[in-house]
Amino acid sequence: MGAGRNLFGIGLLTILFLTLAYLYAEEEEVPAVILPGSRVTLSVDLHDISVGSPFSLSLLIDSPKPEDVSVEVPPHTGVLTIDRFVKTPRVLSANLTMTHIEYRFIPTTEGEFILGSFRVTTPQGITETQPVVLNIQRRVTGPGILNLQLRWEGAPRQTTAGERIILMLHVSDPRRSVSDEIQYPPPSFFMPQVPRGVILSQTPLSQQERDSGYVLKLTLIPLTEGEFNLPARNILQENIRYRIPLLRIPVTERER
């Protein structure tokens, strides 16, 4: 009789253990629920952004409690500084409260700059905004500024790693029709920062090239596949602004 009870008890324990093991295995197979992020609206006035003048960028987030909202600001060192940061609730109606975040930036460098995505985290998940293109101007008081547009010449639509390319930077100057004796800054003034993965060196200009309005001559040798980029720049000297456009050349792998 005692042996029968023991066997019955062992049988119950075995069934209970197998049941728990089965439930645990079933629970492990259930995937985690990924919540969608909150709705985020980004607002910024891109009309007049200039060096030294503050401008505001706002985020309106569909989350009622500011303390539950965190934002990761995209990299901006060397171009923008944060002058002010404010995070407050905004009551839109009796049944709707959202979180309003305002950044006040001060540009420190002129030129075109892509401000990347703001990463917003709320209890509902993570949302990333679209990047914003900032065209930062230099505000100048006093005499008017002469804007001269430059263009890249000699850039192919596509190149191969290891191929040698000659690039020329030409200035369009309406004053040349009046006088050909115009002195531009030396080529080193227009020399861009050299990206990684390429050989980029300055080549002397001939007198004829100078007389024709060329201000910079470069020898480019890409070393790896990818995309060669030189960002757009605005360079100011005295009362003349030189506008240098973006240069982009796709680079394919060298055939073996």
Fold: same for 40-136 and 146-252: yes
Which residue type sits at 117?
S
Half-sphere exposure of residue 136, counting CA atoms within 13 Å on the CB side? 24
Distance separating alpha carbons of residues 102 and 33, to the nearest angstrom = 31
Query: Which pLDDT value is given to residue 45?
Result: 86
Could you confirm whether domain 146-252 is CATH 2.60.40? yes
> For residues 200 and 62, what is the distance between their CA atoms, to the nearest angstrom?
48
- The kind and range of the H/E element at 188 are helix 187-190
Instruction: Identify which of 123, 119, 199 has the alpha carbon closest to the alpha carbon of residue 167.
Output: 199
Q: Measured in Å, how far apart are the chain's first and last C-alpha atoms? A: 85
From the CB of residue 110, how many other CB atoms can be counted at a distance below 10 Å? Answer: 21
Ordered strands of the 226-230 beta sheet: 159-160, 247-252, 226-230
CATH fold of 40-136 reads Immunoglobulin-like (2.60.40)
pLDDT for res 194: 87
Q: How far apart are CA 124 and CA 172, in angstroms?
A: 53
User: What does the domain layout of the chain look like in residue ranges?
Assistant: 40-136, 146-252
Judged by phi (left if over 0) then psi (alpha if -120 to 50, else beta), residue 135 lies in: beta
Contact 168, 244 (CB under 8 A): no
For 52-89, letters b (16+ CB in 10 Å) and e give: eeebebebbbbbeebeebebebeebeebbeeeeeebee
pLDDT tens for the chain, 256 residues: list them: 555 544 444 444 444 444 444 434 333 333 333 456 899 999 998 877 888 788 899 999 999 999 999 999 999 988 898 988 999 999 988 889 999 999 989 888 888 899 999 999 999 999 999 999 998 887 655 556 788 899 999 999 999 999 999 999 999 887 765 555 678 899 999 998 888 899 999 999 999 999 889 999 999 999 999 999 998 888 887 778 888 999 999 999 987 7
